[in-house]
Amino acid sequence: MIEQKINKFFGDAESSGFGTGWWSGILSAFFGFLSFGAVLCLHFPQLLSTPDLRPHYPVHTLRVLIQCLIVAAIFFGVISSILRKKKTLALTGMLLAIAATALGGSSVQVNGSVHGGLAIGLDWFLLDLFLMALIYVPLERLWPQYPKQGTFRKDWTQDVVYFMSTHLPLQILSFLVLLPATQATKYFGVPVLQELIARMPWLLQFFLAVVVADIAEYFVHLALHKVPFLWRFHAVHHSSKALDWIAGSRSHFVDDTLVRGFILAPLMLGFSQTIILAYLIFVTLHATWTHCNFGPNAKWLEKFLVMPRYHHWHHTSQKESIDKNFAIHFPWIDKIFGTYYFPKEWPENYGLAGEEIAPDFLRQTIDPFIGRKRTP
C-alpha cells in the first residue's frame, strides 16, 4: 500500500529512459536526501552518528562530499524539471538540498565533546546506501540479466526498510552479534594459533579468514534451511521474488545475528582485528554483488568464486535447486558437501516454493516467533 502511494506520488506514465528527466529526478531526490541526512548528523552527532566510526572520519573530505551532494541535487533537479512534465522528484530533491543548506550545510560545526554511547547510526546508513547504490545500480542498469526488472521493482520499498533496519540500530545489532564472539574468544582463544596466523603474509591471512568464515557460514546456513524453527526466520530472506543489490538486505534480525555470530566466533579465535575488518568489508561487497541483477559472468572465475548466477540458483523456487548452493564465497565448498547445483542457464522463478509469508515488514518480524505462516 505504501509502495503504491510512493509510486503514484513520484511516478508517471512517461518514459523513464535516458534523456527523459526521470533519472536526473531520481538522482536529485537521492542526493538531496543524503545531504539533508548528513547535515542532521553534523548537528546531532551524539545521537545520529556511530561512536566507533567518529574518530576515523576524514572531516574535511566529508564536508566537501556534503557540499557536492547539495550542488548535485540542485543541478539534477533543474535538469529534471526542464525535461519532465511531472516535477515532483525534482522539487523533492531541490527542497531537501535547500533545507540542508538552510541548516548550515557542510559548514556546521561539530561539538568537540562528543563521546561514546548508544547511537542510531544514521551516518553508517547514509554512507553505505550511497556507496552501494553508486557501485551496483549502474551495473544493474547497464548490464541487467532481467532487463524488464526495474530498479524500483515490486517490493523495493520493503527491502529499503530492511536495509534501514540493519543499519540504523547499529549499536544494538553490533552488541548482539559481537558479544557471543567476544565471550568465545575469552574462553577458547588459542594463543599459539594466533601467533601462527600472525606470521603469515597478509594476503594469506585474509584468504584463510574467508575460507574459515565460509565454512562456518555454510553450516549455519544449512541449519537455517533444515531446522524448521530456524527456517521461519530465514524464509524471510528467501521471500524475495526478484533479486537485485538491495534484495539481499531482506533478512530477519535473528537470522542476521545467528549468521554473523557464527562467522565472527571462529575468526576471533585466531585472526587479528585488521583481518576481521577486511573480511567484513569483503563479505558486505561480495554478498551484495551475488544478489545483483547482473548478467555478465567470467566463466573461469565461476569455478572458484561465487558469482550472481550461482547464488541466484540458491534463491530460486524451482524444485531442482531447492536447498542447494549454501556457500557464500567458494562453490567448491558445496561440491565437497554434495550441495552443488550450477546449470548453464539462469533461474526463471524466485521466492518460496509451496508457502508464503506475511507481506509487510512488521508481521515478517513477528510471525516467525509464533510460527504463523500462510499457504498459497
Query: Can you give the pLDDT of all 376 residues of the chain as single tens digits?
Result: 678 888 888 888 888 888 899 999 999 999 999 999 999 999 998 888 877 777 778 889 999 999 999 999 999 999 999 999 999 999 999 999 999 999 999 999 886 666 666 677 888 889 989 999 999 999 999 999 999 998 888 899 999 999 988 777 655 555 445 555 555 555 666 788 888 998 999 999 999 999 999 999 999 999 999 999 999 999 999 999 999 999 999 999 899 888 988 888 888 888 887 888 889 889 989 999 999 999 998 888 998 999 999 999 999 999 999 999 999 999 999 999 999 999 999 999 999 988 889 888 999 999 999 976 655 4
Closest CA to 69 of 103, 44, 94: 94
Roughly how many angstroms between the first and final C-alpha of the chain, as a whole number?
20
pLDDT of residue 271: 86
- DSSP conformation letters of 330-369: -HHHHHHHT-----SS--S-BS-SS-B--SSHHHHHHHHH
What are the CA-CA distances from residue 329 to residues 36, 140, 173, 308, 332 (Å)? 36, 21, 23, 11, 9
The mean of the pLDDT values for the chain is: 88
pLDDT of residue 293: 97
Residue 325 CA to residue 334 CA, distance in Å, equals: 6
pLDDT of residue 181: 53
Residue 30: which residues within 8 A CB-CB, separation 6 or more?
93, 133
Interior CA angle at 314 toward 276 and 333, to 5°? 50
- 96, three cell numbers: 531537501
- Estimate to the nearest angstrom the gap between the alpha carbon of 374 and the chain centroid: 27
Burial of 87 (0-12, 13-18, 19+ CB in 10 A): middle
Number of C-alpha atoms within 13 angstroms, CB side, residue 69?
A: 30
Burial of 358 (0-12, 13-18, 19+ CB in 10 A): middle
Residues 220-244 pLDDT 10s: 999 999 999 999 999 999 999 999 9
Closest CA to 234 of 175, 171, 314: 314
Residues 166-214 pLDDT 10s: 777 655 555 445 555 555 555 666 788 888 998 999 999 999 999 999 9
- Estimate to the nearest angstrom the gap between the alpha carbon of 252 and the chain centroid: 13
DSSP state at residue 108: P
pLDDT of residue 309: 96
**For residue 191, how many other CB atoms are within 10 A of its CB?**
8
Residue 129: which residues within 8 A CB-CB, separation 6 or more?
34, 163, 167
Closest CA to 314 of 243, 263, 229: 243
Q: Which residues pair with 316 in a beta bridge?
A: 350
**Domain segments of the chain as ranges:** 2-119, 170-370
- DSSP conformation letters of 283-332: HHHHHHHHTS------HHHHTTS--HHHHHHHSB--GGGTT----SS-HH
**For residue 63, how many other CB atoms are within 10 A of its CB?**
16
Residue 53 CA to residue 330 CA, distance in Å, equals: 31
Instruction: Please tell me the pTM assigned to this model.
Output: 0.89
